[in-house]
A and B are shown apart, each in its own frame.
Chain A
Amino acid sequence: MADEIKKAPAPLKVTIDNITVEVPAGTTILKAARQIGGEVTPPAMCYYSKLEGSGGKCRTCLVEVAAGSTADPRPMPKLVASCRTNVMDGMVVKNITSERVQEARAGVVEFLLLNHPLDCPVCDQAGECHLQDLGYQHGKEGTRYQFERRTFEKEDIGPKIQLHMNRCILCYRCTYVADQLTDCRVHGVLDRGDHANISTHISKAIDSNFSGNMIDVCPVGALTDKTFRFKNRVWFTKPVDAHRDCPECCGKVTLWQRGDEVLRVTARKDEWGEIQSYDGKPGWICNTCRFEKKAAADWVIEGPTVVNRHSVISQGHYQGMQMPKETIQDVMSGLNPRLLMDIHDISEVNKIELSQLPGAATSANYKNESTKSE
């Protein structure tokens, strides 16, 4: 009896934005919020549940703890990172119901975008970029930054993965992938402060059969699939779930197709933008599946991918889609997508003026500019 009680400690009650859930001890606030789902879930740019040690860095997931616990109901003086703070029984958390949180989050988003090149029109990640989503939801119009943006030398890290440091938000996820999935990490964070950057220092190729997963965990377009680059805008491709018998990995993937052509292979993502788990195990995929298997015949197609994450990408699976009048606006139903436009209007740093481009975005529109800027 006593043993049993020890094994299954009583669940903890936590209230997030007035919704109460029960979670096991050791659950973080973020995880509890994900259990509730929807709006009350704080955005997470650096935390990744499948990567040990991740989180705490970007500060987008800050929440207010209005009461620490039933035992000690005092509020916590500072906002806390929900991804790294454990729930206590009787804890009361405010996310969207806290003005302080909304303000701090807007601040964090501004900081993250401060030196971001905002080259979404030429970025492969556009449409599935967490920073883009965040900007739409929490950003303010225009920029208050009157200085030239920080830029880094472009670095080649091998034939399959492109590193575009200017877009990096230093979430450290890719370094954890290299540490935890590959046997030899050759890239990392160099320098410090506002010069900190992801690099190999010696332009070494990252070659490990699981290195491609860095692309999937990267929340922005800093690490992208070279075999896909500029072939298409994400929202014009049709994602389907597929699998193959792979001796190296789970072989469960999403194929990004146009017609019968496989443009890109990624791991399957869950509603939080993370790689899906199967039987509790993260479904990382190997480089062979990701980079080599580019024929539909290599795969057993299961059916269209259900995209349930709220993002620009969500509309991509309409087949035979007509050219939308204004892509981004349509996709972001209900949200006001002024941020990028305004920044591009003001910024002298970025060469491409999104607002000047006629019609919707396709790779063809950007081909010339993109090759220029590369």
Chain B
Amino acid sequence: MGRKLLLEKAHIENIRSYEVYRKEGGYRSVEKALKTLTPDQVTDEVKKSGLRGRGGAGFPTGMKWSFLTKPEGVPRYLVVNADESEPGTFKDRYLMEFIPHLLIEGMVTSSYALGSNRSYIYIRGEYAWIAHILEQAIEEAHQHGWLGKNILGSGFDCNIYVQRGAGAYICGEETALLESLEGKRGNPRIKPPFPAVKGLWGCPTAVNNVETIAALVPIINEGGEEYAKIGMGKSTGTKLISACGNINKPGVYEIDMTISVEEFIYSDEYCGGIPQGKKLKACIPGGSSVPILPANLLLKTAKGEARMMNYESLADGGFATGSMMGSGGFIVMDDTQCVVKHTYTLARFYRHESCGQCSPCREGTGWMEKILWNLETGKGRSGDIDLLWDIQRKIEGNTICPLGDAAAWPVAAAIRHFRDEFEWHVTHPEEAQKRNYGLAHYADPLSVSVA
């Protein structure tokens, strides 16, 4: 059984309340940081821990923090990204809903390290009740002196505010998030300047994912070096994975990045296998934006090694035969599912969520959605698959923000690995309306049941 650092206590009764949370050792990291460490020492611990951003890009957090410029007399801000809208991802929600003080605790320490006296949590608008839970936790933290003026006599002031969005995936992109927080449309900014130089209201800003900031708690409590011992290679610490789709036990799991994908899917400790005795067909291991993999490439890399649940191994083989850790949204498809239809719903998602600022994404996402709809509903033409490929190629890399890439990759990977299924839709338009293509050669070669 892997180590749990974030969710270990999530199931203790009433852990949501301050009293229980504190009794279980909560806010120790704030005491340690504010009383014994300078802000730069906190950042050093984060660097030592090897923590990588949990929002999707996996950028080293300590390095990101050290980029923050510190001009005299200009406020700095910490903004926590709780927009969580990537299909397949619902881990931050779980953390905030069940153990909200963990985020607040991490935020106080992070704000201290960054010198942010006003920190914001930008939460997706639909998570209305979670915003209430967080506000309650902030209120309690205030009452007990963990927020407000001169915290623990350290001279450090900090307030935390919760800001609700209003329905826009793009506001998870850090600069769109800042625009939205400023009361504007969620149009991503053109970088540079990066938020570390010019962020919220033109001031230096660090934008970090909920889970990243929560990880500050164990990092400070145990020390960066101890934290770095957990995991494998550059995948240090633990990672929350939200698993969904066709599995017996969907939910949020904390893993220590040393287990294999196969164990994660089939072991009873995690997903518990595929329901109704069906077989594994495909999986999107890191949220809708990352490449889909057929079962054979998912469980073993192209080199024939077991694929592990960590940043490096999931990416092994590049886009040709690998995928990405992304946001940790693990979407499993059984042998009765249709890859074309699934890809269509994702294309529709990205068309719906494009901000519309730049032409390749604004026009290209809608075009791809329409072609996929034709393919799915038996109106596909033989040139459509190549056309789709060409469109995604002209979007990728040519847009202002990575949403363009995120829209292109799922289509590219689906065609790369499941081209025969797309072709079958074109050649058997009527049959495709009645049944799905099935498993074909992506068959899970193993009849696994991991103990």
- The answer on direct contact between A and B (beta carbons under 8 Å) is yes
Write the residues of chain A forming the contact surface with B, with a CB cutoff of 8 angstroms.
55-59, 62, 77-79, 81, 84, 103-104, 107-108, 110-112, 114-115, 144-147, 150, 169-170, 189, 191-196
CA distance in complex: A79, B400 (Å) = 11
Select A104's contact among B362, B387, B398, beta carbons within 8 Å: B398
B359/A115 in contact, CB under 8 A? no
Measured CB to CB, the closest approach of chain B to A33, in angstroms, equals 18
- Tell me, yes or no, whether B353 is within 8 Å of chain A by CB: yes
Q: A57-B357, A145-B367 are in contact. Are A170 and B398 (CB under 8 A)?
A: no
Q: What are some 23 contacts across the A-B interface (CB < 8 A)? A: A56-B190, A57-B357, A59-B399, A77-B397, A78-B397, A79-B398, A81-B190, A104-B394, A107-B360, A108-B359, A108-B394, A111-B360, A111-B362, A114-B367, A115-B363, A145-B367, A169-B359, A189-B185, A191-B356, A193-B353, A193-B354, A193-B365, A193-B366
Select B358's contact among A57, A78, A104, A150, beta carbons within 8 Å: A57
Q: A111-B363, A115-B363 are in contact. Are A192 and B399 (CB under 8 A)?
A: no
B399/A194 in contact, CB under 8 A? no
A110/B356 in contact, CB under 8 A? no
List residues of B (306-364) whose CB comes within 8 Å of A's CBs: 351-360, 362-364
CA distance in complex: A194, B185 (Å) = 15
CA distance in complex: A111, B352 (Å) = 17
Q: Return chain A residues, CB-CB under 8 Å to B168.
A: 192
CA distance in complex: A84, B190 (Å) = 8
Q: Return chain A residues, CB-CB under 8 Å to B399.
A: 59
A111/B394 in contact, CB under 8 A? yes
Measured CB to CB, the closest approach of chain A to B82, in angstroms, equals 21
Q: Return chain B residues, CB-CB under 8 Å to A169.
A: 359
Residue of A110, A112, A191 with most partner-chain B CB within 10 A: A110
Closest to A55 in B: B190
Q: Return chain A residues, CB-CB under 8 Å to B398.
A: 59, 62, 78-79, 104, 107-108
CA distance in complex: A81, B367 (Å) = 23
Select B363's contact among A114, A146, A191, A192, beta carbons within 8 Å: A114
Closest to B387 in A: A144
- Tell me, yes or no, whether B142 is within 8 Å of chain A by CB: no
A170/B357 in contact, CB under 8 A? yes
Select A59's contact among B356, B359, B370, beta carbons within 8 Å: B359
Residue of A78, A103, A107, A195 with most partner-chain B CB within 10 A: A107
B356/A194 in contact, CB under 8 A? yes
Measured CB to CB, the closest approach of chain A to B424, in angstroms, equals 21
Tally inter-chain residue pairs, CB-CB below 8 A. 88
Closest to B400 in A: A56
Q: Return chain B residues, CB-CB under 8 Å to A111.
A: 359-360, 362-364, 394
> What's the dominant secondary structure at chain A's contact region?
loop
Closest to A192 in B: B356
Closest to B397 in A: A78
Measured CB to CB, the closest approach of chain B to A114, in angstroms, equals 5
Closest to A106 in B: B394
In order of increasing CB-CB distance, the 8 nearest A-B pairs are A107-B394, A196-B356, A111-B363, A56-B190, A193-B354, A194-B366, A193-B356, A111-B359
Q: Return chain A residues, CB-CB under 8 Å to B360.
A: 59, 107-108, 111
List residues of B (138-192) whose CB comes within 8 Å of A's CBs: 168, 185-186, 190
A194/B365 in contact, CB under 8 A? yes
Closest to B357 in A: A57
Closest to B373 in A: A147
Q: Return chain A residues, CB-CB under 8 Å to B387.
A: 144
Measured CB to CB, the closest approach of chain A to B348, in angstroms, equals 11
Closest to B394 in A: A107
A58/B358 in contact, CB under 8 A? yes
Q: Return chain B residues, CB-CB under 8 Å to A192.
A: 168, 185-186, 354-356
CA distance in complex: A59, B399 (Å) = 7
A193/B359 in contact, CB under 8 A? no
CA distance in complex: A344, B362 (Å) = 23
Closest to A196 in B: B356
A193/B352 in contact, CB under 8 A? yes
Measured CB to CB, the closest approach of chain A to B364, in angstroms, equals 6
Q: Return chain B residues, CB-CB under 8 Å to A110.
A: 394
Q: Return chain A residues, CB-CB under 8 Å to B352.
A: 193
CA distance in complex: A114, B190 (Å) = 24
Q: Return chain B residues, CB-CB under 8 Å to A115.
A: 363
Select B400's contact among A57, A103, A107, A144, beta carbons within 8 Å: A57
A193/B190 in contact, CB under 8 A? no
Q: Return chain A residues, CB-CB under 8 Å to B359.
A: 57-59, 108, 111-112, 169-170
Residue of A62, A192, A193 with most partner-chain B CB within 10 A: A193
Q: Return chain B residues, CB-CB under 8 Å to A56.
A: 190, 358, 400
Q: Return chain A residues, CB-CB under 8 Å to B381.
A: 146
Q: A58-B358, A108-B359, A111-B394 are in contact. Are A193 and B351 (CB under 8 A)?
A: yes
Q: A57-B358, A62-B398 are in contact. Are A194 and B190 (CB under 8 A)?
A: no
Closest to B188 in A: A56
CA distance in complex: A189, B398 (Å) = 22
Measured CB to CB, the closest approach of chain B to A275, in angstroms, equals 23
Q: A56-B190, A111-B364, A145-B367 are in contact. Are A195 and B356 (CB under 8 A)?
A: yes
Q: Return chain B residues, CB-CB under 8 Å to A145.
A: 367
B397/A79 in contact, CB under 8 A? yes
CA distance in complex: A160, B352 (Å) = 35
B362/A170 in contact, CB under 8 A? yes
Q: A84-B190, A111-B394 are in contact. Are A194 and B362 (CB under 8 A)?
A: yes
Known contacts A59-B398, A104-B398, A111-B363, then 10 further A-B pairs from the complex at CB < 8 Å, ordered by chain A residue = A56-B358, A78-B398, A107-B398, A108-B394, A111-B394, A114-B367, A191-B356, A193-B351, A193-B362, A194-B351
CA distance in complex: A56, B357 (Å) = 9
Closest to A150 in B: B366
Residue of A59, A108, A110, A145 with most partner-chain B CB within 10 A: A59
